[in-house]
A and B are shown apart, each in its own frame.
Chain A
Amino acid sequence: MAVDEGLKSELQKQGIFVLPFEQLYNWGRKSSIWPLQFGLACCAIEMIASAASRYDLARFGAEVFRATPRQADLMIVAGTVTKKMAPQVVRLYNQMPEPKYCIAMGACAISGGPFKDGYNVLKGIDRYIPVDVHIPGCPPRPEALIHAIMTLQRKIANQHLEKGQRPRWYDKDADSEYPIPTYGEHDLQPPANREVWQPPRDYRDVTLEEVKKA
């Protein structure tokens, strides 16, 4: 920061704000995150509660739930994503303009939750689209969703505009579409997008063959 902190503070007392353009720009973006208006299961009820007067998401500038992906910045995946629904969720995310963010809300959206052992539930939406904030809980309370939005705001505030440090979406030609899985005979094809989701490496350090050999 080029401006001395003390000077900045003095100027602020006089009503003069000195700050980098980036900060102003990010402040604008983070203060009006418009979520996509859709819910998949019971978590959506908590999402609705967060938007209503008691918890009042409007305090964070995120109260304008848009009913179209074309006008939304944030997708809150609120609820169980069944395998039948997963392609539609990915398609909605693809239809959102950049910059776009995703919050996976609740145990089901982050991992399949209590339905993880089932044949019909996707084991976390992060298998197909990149998730910015995961909220555990079943369902998470509205405070947890608000915390997730504040976390996302901090994330946005820390994005840089300088070349080389820019987020991917700042590049006009950057591809913002994620492959939509197709319905297979036994499972979704592919079962996960390996570009956005990998099982943690350390557990794959040792293979079954190695153990068998030893």
Chain B
Amino acid sequence: MEAIEKIKEIAAQAVPGAKLEIINSTPAAQQPALLVDREHIHVVAKFLKEDPRFQMDFCSCVTAVDYLPKADKPGFIEVVYHLYSVAQKQGPIVLKVRAPRDLDQCRVPSLTPLWRGCEFQEREAYDLYGVKFDGHPDLRRILMWDEFTDHPMRKDYVPPADYEWEPTPHDDTLQRAAQEQGIMPPTAREELEKAKKK
């Protein structure tokens, strides 16, 4: 299969106006990805699926990644699609699309109309990251219950304070246990009495 630079070139020719960018992932993955803007992701994906040079007929994985804001850059949620071609035994092409972290603006076009297999995985990304997929036929939570309002895989998610009591709480566990439930370590009584004597 062509190198990612070539794919980018072909896609840029086929879809005029699309903002494409190559993102090099960490050396371990050795898998450069194509970042597409939100307005053109559907057209680019459709092109990759239908063009005889690529024939990406299988979307194997949809997930999201949460990037918290840094000092100078705003944060974003990145949705990642892994495309393969079963017909031509090639792949993957990794497509990425970014959306703002704010829950009401965190929307990207759904690719379920192109690959039916995206349906459940996009629902999972919606459930855990709060990405809304426009054009998804049935966007509901898939793992958590319907009444749940959080998106637990976001990095700023705070789990409920039902922290389990531990026989020997220490470090972070001890701090959380003390703050949230008033649980003190086994030596607390002795230390308290020592302090009182003083």
Interface residues of chain A, those whose CB is within 8 Å of chain B, are 83-84, 111-112, 116, 118-120, 123-124, 183-187, 191-192, 199-200, 202-211, 214
Contact = CB atoms under 8 A, between A and B. Distances in A.
A211 B192 CA distance: 6
Contacts of A84: 143-145
Name the interface size band of chain B: 20 to 34
B189 A206 contact: yes
Interface string B135-158: 000000001111111101000010
Contacts, number: 72
Given A112-B164, A203-B165, A208 B182 contact: yes
A160 to B, nearest CB: 33
Contacts of B148: 183, 185-186
Interface in B151-188: 152, 157, 159-160, 162, 164-165, 178-179, 181-186, 188
A206 B169 CA distance: 14
B3 interface: no
B127 to A, nearest CB: 11
A206 B164 contact: no
A206 B150 contact: no
Contacts of A120: 143-144, 152
A200 to B, nearest CB: 6
B116 interface: no
B131 to A, nearest CB: 18
Contacts of B144: 84, 120
A214 B160 contact: no
A210 B145 contact: no
19 contacts: A111-B164, A112-B164, A119-B157, A120-B143, A183-B146, A185-B149, A186-B149, A192-B162, A203-B186, A204-B182, A204-B184, A205-B184, A205-B189, A206-B188, A206-B192, A207-B184, A209-B182, A210-B192, A211-B192
